[in-house]
Amino acid sequence: MTMGPPGRRLPQKRGDQDKIYNVHEPEVACIAKGKAGRKYEFGQKVSIATASKGGWLLGALCVPGDPYDGHTLKAQMEQVERLYIKKEHLKTVHVDMGYRGHGYTGPTEVLVNRRGRGSIPKRIWRWMKRRAAVEPTIGHLKSDYRLERNRLKGRVGDALNALFSAAAMNLKKLLGFILAFLLRLFSASPSARPATISLCLA
């Protein structure tokens, strides 16, 4: 009998549990997307937390296996609290409908998005609609910051790759703000331009 890593069998059938999808990376899981164009993805699930304004990434947590989204909220909130909430005292967190029944009992209020507004106040409904801005952020992380294909090995490599991707996106955003500030600074003081140019040439 052929055995794979962690003592699991390599010959597999369609209905078997705990399958091996990659011999070199046995941690790879099959994640159902529920979309017609791409029903399944293979890899690790990553939870992303962003700020309500500016699109800054506050957390990137790699969750092994394919757990229910609501069960990952507690670990994600602990990561965000270590980085952000204790300093800024964040009051509410908005999540999509995949987090229904999350069971989180921390000090932060968790609001699950709905399809219809109903009796939700306009102010809260506006922030709920704002939550959709995280979707293009995830797309940019996958396509532009190498979150879609990980070159690091093991679960530690998966966790580091998620953190590095989020850090790279924040760093690029920060560099863009610094560049815009310098351009405004030099455009506001035309007398500084010749000195700056001569200094660079020297």
Domain residue extents for the chain: 25-177
Residues 9-27, mean pLDDT to the nearest whole number: 78
Fold of 25-177: Nucleotidyltransferase; domain 5 (3.30.420)
Closest to 142 (Cα-Cα) out of 126, 125, 165: 165
Q: Rounded to an integer, what distance in angstroms lies between the CA atom of residue 28 and that of residue 9?
A: 15
Instruction: Confirm if 10 and 2 have CB atoms less than 8 A apart.
Output: yes
How high is the mean pLDDT of the chain? 82
- pLDDT on residue 201: 35
- pLDDT tens digits, one per residue of 112-156: 888 888 788 888 888 888 888 888 999 999 999 989 888 898 899
Q: Is the pLDDT of residue 1 over 50?
A: no
Higher pLDDT, 85 or 202: 85
Band (pLDDT 50/70/90 cuts) for residue 4 is low
Residues 92-101, mean pLDDT to the nearest whole number: 87
What percent of the chain has pLDDT above 70?
85
Q: What does the block give as tokens for 41? A: 């993805």
Q: Rounded to an integer, what distance in angstroms lies between the CA atom of residue 57 and that of residue 95?
A: 15
Q: Where are the alpha helices (DSSP H) in the chain?
A: 73-80, 86-88, 122-130, 134-144, 154-188, 192-201
Residue with tokens 């922030």: 127
User: β-strands 57-63, 29-32: how paired?
Assistant: unpaired
